[in-house]
Structure 1
Amino acid sequence: MNIKNLIITFLSLTIGSTLVFSQTTKALVGGTLIDGFGGVPIRNSVILIENDKITAVGQVGSLEVPAGAEVISTEGMSVMPGLWDMHVHLMINGHSDYDHWDKTYIDLFESVIMPSSAHQLLMAGVTSARDLGAPLEASINVRDKINRGEIPGPTIYVSGPFIQKTAYPGTEAFRWGVNGVADAKAKVKKLADAGVDVIKLIDQDQMTLEEAQAVVDEAHKYGLPVVGHSHRPEEIRVGLKIGVDCFEHTGLSSAPEYPEDIMLMIQERSAQMNRGPLFWTPTVEGLYNYESVRNNPEKLDDPSWHLGLPDSIIRDIRASLRYPGRMSYFQLTPVRKPTLERKFSQLKQSGVVMLIGTDSGIPMKFHSQSTWNELDVWVNEFGYDPLLAIKAATYWPAVAMKVDQDYGTISEGKYADIIAVRGDVLRHISLLQDVDLVIKHGKRVK
């Protein structure tokens, strides 16, 4: 045996069966493939992976598995692209007191909290995520460490600090206020120069129209999409006027539906095909499921959210959740909950392209659980087609982030970001709460 073969054999034996360095080709064989495009699933599928890319997709009997490939059986499983979560907060992890959390742990965001959140997302089958709001340096550094393979996590797209009219006291590290058009442009330029992937705009209705317009125009000058809050009707009106690319949330108001004039504006913008789709991330799960969690808090004891956190922080989070019914954050939620399905239905019928996102990290919402919960509410509570819900968690997010040439579907030439679960996920979307197989960039990580 020559030296090369000795080295390969040694690595194979010492590192383990899931990382076999002597085989650069993997073959996923036998499962039902939901490729992300929204079409009919492919039975008895075969997916060939070479290094980090998908090289071929077919079926048993028509696509040959190369000799020497590492074969991973997906018999009895639903196979699909890795999930995207388009609205996460890596800097928080379910604690009920933001003020305490920020003051106590801000120096640990980069080294502990954000890496922990990212790892939890990856183990939940989320292979790409959009992080909307954190200190700039921590955001860039955590994203880049993941991309270099130094820490585990999804491919992350970061906004860094929010842009808003006035930062809330004590939040200046991750919320930047603007004072005038020149300042608005300067703040966006600073984010762009640092290398963010997206600009997050909130409270745009509290800015002058000129300031808000300057944020969007400057972002677009650097090729950066702008996401905007949509809690208040006037936030949406201003956002539509200035050209926000993607709206976040269905709104925290208890109004029964979106006003007619806003729906007309949304429909008009959605009809402008030359501008591309208008995207919307409803983030309904946190509000919709609050009363269920409050009344049945056993799920708060799920140890999956402990991953990567020291015992002291776990105890702090757990103590903050001792009385779920007393949290000021959720006191209006029972009033707002009945409006969610109506607003969701309005958006569904308006022509916007809806994306799966969760607000993961808010009180009682953990990165290890939030994404499948969002899909579950869409499908099982709001009657959304499961194939289209999966497309909203795979194909469309990649389009929204302009990386669909590399991500979002299981097709030739794209990165091998693939998950699989045992059973029929189109019939039982909640199977996604326990993802059996996670492959990111061709490497099996679960």
Structure 2
Amino acid sequence: MRNLLTVLFIAFYLPLSAQTPAANQGLALIGAKIYLGPSAPPLATGAVLIEHGEITAVGDVKAIKVPRGMKVIDCKGMVIMAGFWNCHVHFIEPKWEHADSLPASQLSNQLKDMVNSRGFTHVFDLAAFDLANLLALRARIESGEVEGPAILTAGVPFAPPDGSPFYIKPLKLHEIGTAAEASAYVSKQIQSGADAIKLWSASPNGERVVPMPLEVIKAAVNTAHKLGKLVFAHPTSDTGVNIAIESGVDILAHVAPDDRKLWNTATINNLLQHKVALIPTLKLFKWELERNGFPTANSSLINTGLQQVGAYAKAGGEILFGTDVGYVADYTTTDEFEFMSKAGMSFEQILTSLTTAPAKRFGMADKTGRILAGMDADIVVLTADPKENSKFFSNVAYTISKGKIIFSSKNAAGN
């Protein structure tokens, strides 16, 4: 009997006792240059302590005492920032289907490839064709079964009558032509779990750009706002921008270069007055041109987008980082950072678009977006300083979401 108890003790108790400290031991990031926030002076050689998913201490490495038993990662020569947001992603590729039953390892690897390895600890999905499937993916991440970022979603979007965009064929969006239908549709989306609403304020159907009727988009925006949700609009053109502004849309999901109209002072001031945020997605236009066999050098489409972003950023407009990844099949982020820099955005402005601006816009500024004690441990560790070159924002060594390492590069310390 004694031998049996000994076997049971070794088989069951010891593995549990060995796992418990490991699960709760915390994490220390030591020796990195730390950007506490976009405008705060960095710590030249700092340390960050993490326990139970939160940052418990930040400071000069000489002033921080690492608790005994805490896992330590040597970050000497690296750069620490708050985890990044990608405010325009999609989970519409076939590989995301059946998210409720796909192996957790498969989903984790897919997320690592698309978002985790890019430093994203939060993403905003801006078009789900199967909202229940996306919510199943989110639930598996939140449970800890799948490794991935926090996901917000704008649910299933809609377009004006005869306005399904040509580039999603053979798929077709829900098309809405009355205020009553718009209000009912928005309410149903939010009741189904959407965190925001996405619509096309003007949409290219392949023959023309179809504007959303003003009374329809106003009804959608008013209903969403009454329910405490934001509205994203795909503007396409100057007309779509003006409709979005007049209707009270909160965020433009793209710049609007299709009609090659530069944004003048009146447009910029109108956007500023209505506090509209802008997601550039500049890489999208290069990708579309390349895959359709058009030259990108000195492209009027790209140059118009650069002017619009640059003018709005220079005027103090709110910029939110986003790449349209998931629709754009190239997951890399370097092009987007280089385009933002080319548009005239500074290091501080780009970092703001990745961290504090989305955290504030989406009501999470008290928990994420900065490296401060008491904040969620949403952290990215880079191998080089993007203040020297914006492309270094894409040099990710570690991505940490609420204290959990969801990506570590092969060349990172300890790998």
TM-score (norm 2): 0.83
Please give the secondary structure, in 2, of the residue aligned with 1:192.
helix
**Contact 1:281-1:356 at 8 Å conserved across structures:** yes
Match of residue 35 from structure 1: 36
Q: Among 273, 277, 280, which residue is 1:279 paired with?
A: 277
Q: Does residue 163 in structure 1 map to residue 184 in structure 2?
A: no
Shift in alpha-carbon separation, 1:432–1:346, aligned structure 2, 3 A: closer
Shift in alpha-carbon separation, 1:259–1:388, aligned structure 2, 3 A: closer
**In structure 2, how many angstroms separate the alpha carbons of the residues matched to 1:214 and 1:75?**
54
Match of residue 26 from structure 2: 25
Please give the secondary structure, in 2, of the residue aligned with 1:199.
strand
Please give the secondary structure, in 2, of the residue aligned with 1:354.
coil
Q: Give the aligned residue type for 2:160.
A: K
Cα deviation, residue 408, structure 1: 1.4
Shift in alpha-carbon separation, 1:250–1:36, aligned structure 2, 3 A: same
Superposition map of 1:195-344 within 5 A? 195-203=193-201, 206-270=211-275, 278-288=276-286, 294=290, 324=291, 326=293, 334-344=299-309
Shift in alpha-carbon separation, 1:408–1:351, aligned structure 2, 3 A: same
Cα deviation, residue 250, structure 1: 1.4
Cα deviation, residue 115, structure 1: 6.8
Shift in alpha-carbon separation, 1:181–1:80, aligned structure 2, 3 A: same
**Contact 1:355-1:397 at 8 Å conserved across structures:** yes
Q: Give the aligned residue type for 1:220.
A: H
Q: Give the aligned residue type for 1:146.
A: I
Instruction: State the Cα RMSD in Å.
Output: 3.1
Q: Give the aligned residue type for 2:350.
A: A
**In structure 2, how many angstroms separate the alpha carbons of the residues matched to 1:116 and 1:423?**
25
Q: Give the aligned residue type for 2:385.
A: D
Match of residue 152 from structure 1: 147
Match of residue 63 from structure 2: 62
- 5+ long unaligned stretches in structure 1: 13-19, 93-100, 271-277, 295-323
Cα deviation, residue 22, structure 1: 5.8
Q: Deviations over 1:354-397 (max 9, x none)?
A: 1111111335x423x13x43122212x23321132112101111
Match of residue 326 from structure 2: 361
Shift in alpha-carbon separation, 1:76–1:331, aligned structure 2, 3 A: closer
Q: Give the aligned residue type for 1:191.
A: Q
Shift in alpha-carbon separation, 1:174–1:253, aligned structure 2, 3 A: closer
Superposition map of 1:136-151 within 5 A? 136-151=131-146
Cα deviation, residue 50, structure 1: 0.8
Shift in alpha-carbon separation, 1:188–1:332, aligned structure 2, 3 A: farther
Q: Does residue 377 in structure 1 map to residue 375 in structure 2?
A: no
Counting aligned pairs with the same residue, the percent is 24
Shift in alpha-carbon separation, 1:116–1:241, aligned structure 2, 3 A: farther
**Contact 1:263-1:350 at 8 Å conserved across structures:** yes
Q: Does residue 441 in structure 1 map to residue 399 in structure 2?
A: no
Q: Among 333, 349, 371, which residue is 2:314 paired with?
A: 349
Q: Give the aligned residue type for 1:81.
A: A
**In structure 1, how many angstroms separate the alpha carbons of the residues matched to 2:28 and 2:399?**
14
Q: Among 357, 360, 368, which residue is 1:399 paired with?
A: 360
Q: Does 219-228 or 31-40 show the bigger shift?
A: 31-40
**In structure 1, how many angstroms separate the alpha carbons of the residues matched to 2:150 and 2:97?**
23
**In structure 2, how many angstroms separate the alpha carbons of the residues matched to 1:261 and 1:224?**
28
More helix by share: 1
Q: Deviations over 1:18-72 (max 9, x none)?
A: xx71652221111000123422111111111111111121112222222222221
**In structure 2, how many angstroms separate the alpha carbons of the residues matched to 1:263 and 1:424?**
32
**Contact 2:50-2:56 at 8 Å conserved across structures:** yes
**Contact 2:92-2:327 at 8 Å conserved across structures:** no
Match of residue 97 from structure 1: none
Please give the secondary structure, in 2, of the residue aligned with 1:231.
coil
Match of residue 82 from structure 2: 81
Q: Does 131-140 or 73-82 show the bigger shift?
A: 131-140
**In structure 2, how many angstroms separate the alpha carbons of the residues matched to 1:60 and 1:267?**
41
Q: Among 407, 413, 418, which residue is 2:379 paired with?
A: 418
Q: Give the aligned residue type for 2:293.
A: R
The number of residues matched between the two structures is 384
